[in-house]
Structure 1
Amino acid sequence: MGNGHLESSSLESSSTMHSINAQITSSDLEVAEKKVLQGMEEENNMPIIWEPRLVEELRNVQVVDIACGLDHSLVLCRDGALLSCGSNVYGQLGRATKDLGFFPVEINLTPISVAAGLGHSLAICQLDESDGSSDTVGATNIASWGWNQSSQLGRPGPANLPALTHALAGENPVSVSAGRAHTVALTSKGEMWVWGSGKNGRLGLSSSVDEVEPFYLDSLEGFQILQAVSGFDHNLVLVAG
């Protein structure tokens, strides 16, 4: 779809930051976030659109879901194509090309909804036999990619391309929401799962440690959870009265 010049971000050199999956301290997390914000401020030729404007590139595309991170966007089309645009500093676009404009995410799954955090991306995907997972055909799971310094992807391994979160195999997630460096999901059984940065208790646990894999939040057992969403560093959970 569109062409443009290569994205030149002041974060490119620092983004290749050592082990992206390594455990880090709270101060390390804050330093990384400051670098993201500083890089945003230093970007040149970044227009600000003050009023809603039609995205001409998507005029003839039927869009079914969108998600925005700090400086990237995901667009899910009715035909199943998942497009991304913006910064690819942490691999959050899920594709190798860094050209400006909307280009397909390199995902061999069928996404049905999307979510975006500060620098990570997620998609609930419908599974079939070709996915090679332990889930049954027709089940769902979450694919994740991008920034993973606090384990917000819920999985180890390379983070620049989408891969399934195997800890959720068989749980059938129906919704997912991303905070700055954490993620929450609801399953078809109405269970809430959390993972990523636990700083300031944002995961709803009794500690502030990071959860490297999805963790069932049993403190909400007995509640009928209708919706769970993440803010930057907090969550809101809607339960039936």
Structure 2
Amino acid sequence: GERHGLATSAAGELWSWGRGSHGQLGLGGDSDGVHAPQRIQALAHTRIVEASAGGLHSLAVNDVGELFSWGAGRDGKLGHGDAKAQPQPKLVEALRGVP
């Protein structure tokens, strides 16, 4: 992302670090700076295989193809049907079951 990073582990864990002023770190709130990678606990129940850090939001896909998004929700970019910010990963229900 512009000011934050994401990394997946071989075990399917997702880690984030950097600036999280809009919740884009997925750690449950806003943060001026996380200087070392922290595991995103909200996704501990699922195996993440892909992740992408946008300017003020983040996306992740698990091993069964479900998409999660979080961060700034302006213009509906998180896919949850509103423009609300999400400080933790949330399943994009509109794409659930889409191959």
Q: Same fold per TM (> 0.5)? A: yes
Are the equivalent residues in 1 in contact too, given 2:57–2:69 (CA < 8 A)? yes
Q: Can you give the 5+ residue segments of structure 2 that lack an aligned partner in the other structure?
A: none
- Residue 120 (str. 1) matches residue 4 (str. 2): yes
Q: AA paired with 1:152?
A: Q
2:23, 2:34 → 1: CA distance?
10
1:178, 1:163 → 2: CA distance?
15
- Residue 208 (str. 1) matches residue 80 (str. 2): no
User: Which structure has the higher relative contact order (CA within 8 Å, separation 6+)?
Assistant: 2
- Residue 153 (str. 1) matches residue 28 (str. 2): no
> How much has 1:159 moved relative to structure 2?
1.1
1:183, 1:222 → 2: CA distance?
21
Q: Which residue of structure 2 lines up, in the alignment, with residue 80 of structure 1?
A: none
Q: Which residue of structure 2 lines up, in the alignment, with residue 233 of structure 1?
A: none
Q: Can you give the 5+ residue segments of structure 1 that lack an aligned partner in the other structure?
A: 1-116, 127-138, 225-241
RMSD: 1.3
Q: AA paired with 1:144?
A: S
Among all aligned residue pairs of Structure 1 and Structure 2, give the percentage whose two residues are the same amino acid: 33
TM-score normalised per structure 1: 0.38
Number of equivalent positions = 96
Listed as ranges, the matches of 1:76-225 within 5 Å are: 117-126=1-10, 139-156=11-28, 159-224=34-99
Q: Which residue of structure 2 lines up, in the alignment, with residue 24 of structure 1?
A: none
> How much has 1:222 moved relative to structure 2?
2.1
TM-score normalised per structure 2: 0.91
Higher strand share: 2
Higher helix share: 1
